Structure 1
Amino acid sequence: MQDQPAISRFPVPDLADMPEDIRMRILAVQEKSGFVPNVFLVLAHRPDEFRAFFAYHDALMDKPGNLTKAEREMIVVATSTLNQCQYCVVAHGAILRIRAKNPLIADQVAVNYRKADITDRQKAMIEFGIKVSGEAHKVGEDDMARLKTFGFDEEDIWDIAAIAAFFGLSNRLANITNMRPNAEFYALGRTM
């Protein structure tokens, strides 16, 4: 087998050299998942930004609300596809498969959410997330009214927009750093 490419074009600190709080978070993730997702190692290059990034990530992705955790991941996969972020499509695709308990859903959403086996409500949610990701300056009252016809309230709309916006930042960082998806992500959630 060939040598694996570097996970980042920027320096990646050794776990032993990381601040204690970051090292403990990474070890907890490793214990839960069985491996360390490369995003943790790459972003540890800048500890203050690592902390801010994951605090906002957790606030958006782990909160209770009308959007399920799987729906939040659908937004990530679809907008990351738009932004051509290999890391996020692969990693969050794995998380989506697991959270939706559906081995096909992530590929369907990544390739063409309009033809995916998801609800019209979810398609409207993704469509709005994509608009926020690519053309936020065009978002208007018609967009809000349309989402409300699917039962989304203002807090839901904020969540969809915030997830799309946050992952726009994440996608750009992943692309700039040349962040590589862990091989483990490709197989996760493929069999149920």
Structure 2
Amino acid sequence: MFLQTIAEDEAKGRVAEIYSAQRAQSGMVMEAIRCFTARPDLLPAYMDFVMQARGNFSLSQRDWRIITFIAARDIPSTYCSHVYGRQLIDELGSRAAVLAVQRDHRNAGLSERDVAMLDYAEKITRDASRITIDDIGRLRDAGFSDTQICDIALCASFRSFVSRFFDAVGAVPEDAFLDSDEEFRTAMTVGKPI
């Protein structure tokens, strides 16, 4: 981390509560959390937003992860690619399936629904100014409601913000997210080297 942040043993108030909850949930306080404490007032606001966005997400947790993974590839975010790539191994069935999605989600054996969702997420991440009503029509044709389309846009756009912030302040993936398979680890390193 490039910036001075609040250490666990120095955390107080809401920051201490957030750190404690994350340690209980994942066994660590991720740099993705700690980096916000260079401005301690932002961590609670960030966590409140994340809890609201994810807690009321109209799609599945798998959808959140795969949208995030595609966005991370195109940002490019090594941190988020490692974190979400590891999480998707079980959900997609194998490292090979995750790598296939990363290489080309259109030819990775995903459903038409997934491809439409990821096409939209990809376009948002690469250049949201190119989104047209036709893109929204394709999503509606694939069965997505306007609330779900909003959530896809929110997820991809949110990842574009936080992943760039993580890189800008020097957050790096924790060892727990670095896969033991060298090919997979190399493929997840899409941006900043580890």
Q: Structure 1-normalised TM-score? A: 0.84
- Which of 6, 18, 29 matches 1:13? 6
The yes-or-no answer on 1:168 pairing with 2:151 is no
How many pairs were matched up?
180
Structure 1 residue 64: deviation in Å? 4.7
The counterpart of 1:102, out of the listed 81, 84, 93, is 93
The answer (yes or no) to whether the contact 2:67–2:121 under 8 Å persists in 1 is yes
Which structure 1 segments of 5+ residues have no match? Answer: 1-7
Q: CA deviation at 1:187?
A: 4.0
Which of 65, 71, 78 is matched with 1:79 structurally?
71
Q: State the alpha-carbon separation in 2 of the partners of residues 187 and 36 from structure 1.
A: 19
| Unaligned stretches of 5+ residues in structure 2 | 185-194
Residues 1:90 and 2:70 aligned together: no
Against the structure 1 CA distance between its residues 117 and 35, is the aligned structure 2 distance closer, same or farther, given a 3 Å change threshold? farther
The 1:35/1:187 distance shift into structure 2, 3 A limit, reads farther
Q: Does 1:153 align with 2:149?
A: no
Residue equivalent to 1:122: 114
Cα distance, 1:109 vs structure 2: 2.6
2:190 matched to which residue of 1? none
Given the alignment of the two structures, is residue 42 of structure 1 paired with residue 35 of structure 2, yes or no?
yes
Q: Secondary structure at the match of 1:44?
A: helix
Moved over 4 A (4+): none
Root-mean-square deviation over aligned CA pairs: 2.0
Deviations 1:26-77 (A, max 9, x none): 2222122222222112222222221222222222223252x11101110101
TM-score (norm 2): 0.84
How far, CA to CA, are the matches of 1:109 and 1:148 in structure 2? Answer: 22
Kept in 2, the 8 Å contact 1:62–1:69? The answer is no
